Amino acid sequence: MAISAKGRLFTLILSVAPLMAQPAGAVSLGADYVFSVFGLPAMKIEIDWKGNDQRYTVDGKLRPAGVGRIFGAIRGKLSVDGRVTPEGWKPDDFAMKYEGKDPWRGTAKWSGDTLTELKTKPENKRKDGDAWVPLDGAARAGFVDMFTGLVIEADTARAVCDRTLDLFDGEMRLTLALSAPKPVPVAIKGAPERGIECKARFTPIAGYSTNSSSRRHLARQTIEIVWANPVGLYWVPVSAVIPHKDATLRIRASEIYGRP
């Protein structure tokens, strides 16, 4: 199995993040994740979120671990800069890249709620003809990048799962319908002892090919995500199980933190 192909799935895994009214005031949050394939660690992902009353930033790093060192030694970075509004965090600038076999990079810009610029290298052009669903026109409005959506504010655990999400992974716009809240134990440094598990159903909207067997398979599956709140009412994802057609993909935090 080529880890380079799964590298793009890393973005999908993290896009299982609800978006709602985001935290107001100063907040600093972070998480260190391990991404595993066939039960073996392949990548480590570090993400930090920082916000105040007006602006927020997201910074992340991706590096190989375990079997990931064998398949191309993928390394990556991500960054988001945006505004804090009464409706939640809104991105202005997004950038992500990874290096190794099949390198990729993308940048995006928003004006208000509308995506105004999207650049990818390789270019965001496909050979699928009519099977390619472009991310243009009306499809460019009403969503945020997935990393902006990774932190939510909820006053109850059950409220975390009560939503449908509209997110962007650097190339594709997708929705995730969350449901079925279930309290579960959590044993992760920095996390409380209990978290909430949500079921998620994935639907691609634009910026993808209808010929993709992986996306068709995933749309028929149920993804499981567990959330925990390291401080106050702020919730971050601590694990996810994704039934990909080639292997079960898992992501789990080794540590999370939060400071008001």
Q: What are the C-alpha distances in Å from 24 to residues 15, 27, 233?
A: 22, 8, 11
31 closest CA partner among 243, 251, 260, 182: 251
Distance between CA atoms of 69 and 98, rounded to whole angstroms?
Answer: 14
Q: Could you tell me the pTM of the whole model?
A: 0.85
Structure tokens at 87: 């409706």
Q: What are the C-alpha distances in Å from 64 to residues 57, 139, 254, 255?
A: 24, 34, 15, 18
Cβ proximity of 234 and 256 under 8 Å = no
Structure tokens at 195: 């978290």
Structure tokens at 149: 């959506």
Cβ proximity of 122 and 128 under 8 Å = no
8 closest CA partner among 215, 178, 223: 215
Cross-strand bridge partners of residue 27: 51
94 closest CA partner among 108, 82, 106, 111: 108
pLDDT of residue 15: 43
Give me the tens of pLDDT residue by residue for the chain, a chain 260 residues long: 334 444 444 444 444 444 444 445 688 999 999 999 888 888 899 999 999 989 999 999 998 876 655 556 678 999 999 999 988 899 999 999 988 878 899 999 999 999 999 999 987 666 678 899 999 999 999 999 999 988 888 889 999 999 888 999 999 999 999 999 999 999 999 999 999 999 999 999 999 999 999 899 999 999 999 999 998 888 999 999 999 888 889 999 999 999 88
pLDDT of residue 68: 59
Q: Dihedral sign, CA of 22, 229, 78, 12?
A: negative
Which amino acid appears at position 28 of this protein?
S
Peptide bond before residue 86 is cis, with ω within 30 degrees of 0: no
Tokens 């030694």 belong to 73
pLDDT of residue 149: 85
Cβ proximity of 162 and 178 under 8 Å = yes
